[in-house]
Amino acid sequence: MKRILVPVDFSEYSRYAINFAVQLATKTGSEIHLLHVIEAPTAQSFTTMGMVYVDDMDEVYFAELRKVVKAKLESFAGGESSKDVVVIPKVYIGKPYENISEHIASHSADLIVMGTKGSSGLKELLVGSNTEKVVRFSKCPVIAIPVPLDLNKLSNIVFAMNMMDDEGRVIEAIRDFQNLTETHLSLLWVNTLHIIENEQKVKNEMEITGKKYGLTDFSVHVVKSVSAESGIMNYAEKSGADLIAMATHSRHGIAHIFSGSLAEDIVNHAEKAVWTCTLRT
């Protein structure tokens, strides 16, 4: 792991993300990119030729604002714990998700750590949070953190499996994270009202899959629940898991609206940190 990206909005949730990223970077020697996006005004003036008109004073204003925000980022990341970590502040003016995506692509981030407070109701249905969008489309793993998370106290990760052939990439990624954090990995399958598999058969398949991908410190579990979401969150709570891990399908457009995403639902509603990785390459 060489580069960790942490989007920052200066909230307490951002602080949770930075603190965990610093712990990871200290252990791995990674550099941290702190990213803040100043949202550009939505109202724009156009010339008669249809070109955007930008006042010189606006350019001066945004240039000064960049300096102020960059200094605030440096201060926000300061402290004794981060003194041996390379922290690079980045300030953009634009749209949060678009700038985050561009930065991920251009700087080859290995991991994204984001603070999140989730979303609910109509906002969740129609808009979604920036964290949710990053979870959906990011090519590298994402950790969404709604509460303080201490790397040194991680002991158990619940990995909710889908038991599909395309899950190998995600299993390899969670294996690497498990080895880095030196935690136990609980492989979980949820039988629901609509998807019911033989418990012993699923356990055997999870054992075989775990060994196939080189997992060592792991166990297999099958639970019953009215939905996959409630089954995962209830098991994580009862087992005292520190983090929930799962794959996301990265669905786009209409497909996403109609099918939704279990990973995004978990990120929105879980009171624990959630690690996700897309099945897409």
Identify the band that residue 125 occupies on the pLDDT scale cut at 50, 70 and 90: very low
Specify the pLDDT at position 81: 56
Phi, psi of 119 (to 5 degrees): -155, 165
DSSP string, 172-228: HHHHHHHHHHT-EEEEEEEE-SS----HHHHHHHHHHHHHHTT--SEEEEEEE-SSH
Question: Which contacts qualify for 93-96: CB closer than 8 Å, 24 or more apart?
Answer: 93/37, 93/38, 93/39, 93/40, 93/62, 93/65, 93/66, 94/37, 94/38, 94/39, 94/40, 95/37, 95/39, 95/40, 96/7, 96/37, 96/39, 96/130
What is the sign, positive or negative, of the torsion defined by CA atoms of 177, 178, 181, 185?
positive
Alpha-carbon distance of 46 to 100, in angstroms, equals 27
> Nearest CA to 146 among 34, 23, 22, 274?
274
* Fold of domain 3-115: Rossmann fold (3.40.50)
pTM of the model: 0.84
Lowest mean pLDDT among 18-22, 113-117, 258-262: 258-262
Look at 99-113, 187-201, 255-269 and tell me which has the smallest mean pLDDT. Answer: 255-269
Contact 76/21 with Cβ under 8 angstroms? no
Q: Where are the domains of the chain?
A: 3-115, 149-278
d(CA 208, CA 191): 19
Q: What is the pLDDT of residues 133-184, one digit of tens each?
A: 677 667 889 999 999 999 999 999 999 998 877 889 999 999 999 999 999 9
Strand-pair partners of 157:
185, 243
Residues 8, 36 contacting (CB under 8 angstroms)? yes
- Please state the length of the chain: 281
For tokens 């251009």, name the residue. 106
pLDDT greater than 70 at residue 43: no
pLDDT for the residue numbered 244: 97
Comparing C-alpha atoms, which of 106, 112, 149, 103 is closest to residue 248?
Answer: 112
| CATH label, 149-278, candidates 1.10.1370.30, 3.30.420.40, 3.90.550.10, 3.40.50.620 | 3.40.50.620
Return the DSSP state at 51.
Answer: P
Q: What percent of the chain has pLDDT over 90?
A: 46
The pair of three-digit structure tokens given for residue 12, joined into one six-digit string: 């307490």
Strand positions, DSSP E, the chain: 3-7, 31-39, 45-46, 52-53, 87-94, 111-115, 142-145, 156-160, 184-191, 218-224, 243-248, 273-278
Nearest alpha-carbon partner for 273 in 212, 183, 192, 193: 183
**How many other CB atoms are found less than 10 A from the CB of residue 163?**
12
Same fold, 3-115 and 149-278: yes
